[in-house]
Chains A and B, each alone.
Chain A
């Protein structure tokens, strides 16, 4: 799991790949359709797709001669879950800190600051 997530985050480090994912979030697309908004050749897009597929973020389907790509829900969900956990731990910390700060705001008389 951890290795798959490593690959997923490494795949996301590239802005073109993030844009491809954002495009696929709105539905399936072929390599040609994906290449359109970018000033890139289809082989270059295919290379990015390969990285995304290997990272478990994108899957392909066979449709005659076409190979439309879509988001791999499981890969994306695993990554989401993971960031959510870190976020949750941080939120817990800072909620505690809020309370601590509220208690600090009324220092006792004569207390050194």
Chain B
């Protein structure tokens, strides 16, 4: 029921969907309140987010800094473009490694689904190469591998 889907779409998109048991209002808050974001947006085990700036208004700044005692640290900056409580967030973000990556334009929608929420996050990268590099970054962060079949993405 809560299974995540991750698909590439066309040349430049990555689409992620996930269902949550909580209503859109709660899921939206968890994406826009820095105190909450800081608790879950951590990636693989071992990382913490000591700095979390999340100014949820159009033009508001985003800055997430992650650190891992064994793997170092890196950060993401961005800006909010559009917010529709409790259904839509549009923002851009870039990773600093330390050079900034091209902007990732992200539209996140929260739709009511029974008593829960269906989230659809659509990322748009400037081109196919950038999308590949963005996906590759996940690997460099030392995530563990598990095997998925090619059929799931084509």
Interface residue ranges, A against B (CB under 8 Å): 2, 5-6, 8-10, 12-13, 18, 21-22, 25, 76, 79-94, 96-102, 104-105, 113
Contacts and interface: CB of A to CB of B under 8 A. Distances in A.
B84 interface: no
Contacts, number: 124
A2 B136 contact: yes
13 contacts: A6-B132, A22-B154, A80-B149, A82-B138, A84-B147, A88-B44, A89-B138, A89-B143, A93-B42, A101-B21, A101-B22, A101-B26, A104-B36
A8 B44 CA distance: 25
Contact of A82 (B26, B42, B128, B135): B135
Given A80-B147, A96-B39, A104-B22, A85 B138 contact: yes
A104 B139 CA distance: 32
Nearest to A57: B150
B43 interface: yes
B132 A18 contact: no
5 pairs of A and B residues whose beta carbons are closest in the complex:
A101-B22, A9-B132, A96-B40, A85-B143, A86-B138
B150 A10 contact: no
Contacts of B146: 84, 88
Contacts of B129: 6, 10
Contact of A104 (B29, B41, B141): B29
B4 A87 contact: yes
Given A87-B4, A90-B4, A104-B30, A82 B22 contact: no
Interface string B123-154: 00000110111011011010111111111011
Given A84-B146, A90-B6, A105 B22 contact: yes
Given A9-B135, A90-B16, A96-B40, 15 more contacts: A21-B154, A80-B149, A82-B138, A82-B139, A83-B6, A85-B139, A85-B145, A88-B44, A89-B43, A89-B138, A93-B43, A96-B42, A100-B30, A101-B21, A105-B26
Nearest to B7: A83
Contacts of A90: 4, 6, 16, 18
B109 to A, nearest CB: 15
Contacts of A83: 6, 135, 148, 153
A98 B40 CA distance: 9
Given A9-B131, A98-B2, A105-B22, A85 B30 contact: no
Contacts of B136: 2, 5-6, 82
